[in-house]
Structure 1
Amino acid sequence: MEQLEDEYPGDSDWNMLVRLYEEDYLDDDARSLAKQLDGNLDMAVILYGKRGLKEGLWWVEQQVPALDNMRPADCLKDPKLIKRLRTALMRMP
């Protein structure tokens, strides 16, 4: 079965998206969300921009079908799973 991390467009695309979201969403709420994401401010900024603080904090602890029913918080220790999480964040409407 093909995994979402196989679709990761690369660090260059990720960093470009992060810079775009930082312009509007890098604030104390993003920093609060980053604490739930093991300090990953880049992911927090995008999640905050796409879902807001309240829903973002909720989402981090939920089993997500796109992550093979893993919690986003469980994807933060493995480089392969970080790519999976980043891809999910990039695809999130």
Structure 2
Amino acid sequence: MEQLEDEYPGDSDWNVFVRLYEEDYLDDNARTLAKVMDGYLDMAVVLNGKRGLEEGLWWIEQKVPALGNKRPADCLKNPKLIKRLRTALMRMP
């Protein structure tokens, strides 16, 4: 079965994507999200832009079907799952 990490566009595209969000969403809310995301400020900035602090904190602890029913918090310790999470964040409306 194909997983989201198989469609990860690469670190270069991810970094370009993050820079788009940093302009408006690199703030104290993003830093708060990063603390609960094992210090991943890049993903925290995007999540802050897509969902905001309150919903972002909630979402991190939920099982997400697009992540194979894993919690985003569970994806932070594994490089393969980080790619899955980044791809999900890039696709999130």
Q: Would you say same fold, with TM above 0.5?
A: yes
Structure 1 moving runs of 4+ over 3 Å: none
Q: Does 1:27 align with 2:27?
A: yes
Q: TM-score, normalised by structure 1?
A: 0.99
Q: Does 1:5 align with 2:5?
A: yes
How far the C-alpha of 1:36 sits from its partner, in A, is 1.0
Aligned residues: 93
SS in 2 for 1:76: helix
How far the C-alpha of 1:75 sits from its partner, in A, is 0.3
| Matched residue type, 1:12 | S
**In structure 2, C-alpha distance between the alignment counterparts of 1:11 and 1:77, rounded to whole Å:** 17
How far the C-alpha of 1:57 sits from its partner, in A, is 0.3
Name the residue aligned to 1:65. 65
- Name stretches of at least 5 consecutive residues in structure 1 with no aligned partner: none
Q: TM-score, normalised by structure 2?
A: 0.99
**In structure 2, C-alpha distance between the alignment counterparts of 1:31 and 1:19, rounded to whole Å:** 15
How far the C-alpha of 1:59 sits from its partner, in A, is 0.2
How far the C-alpha of 1:54 sits from its partner, in A, is 0.5
Deviations 1:41-66 (A, max 9, x none): 00000000000110000000000000
Q: Does 1:14 align with 2:40?
A: no
Identity of aligned residues (%): 84
Deviations 1:21-58 (A, max 9, x none): 00000000100000110010000000000001100000
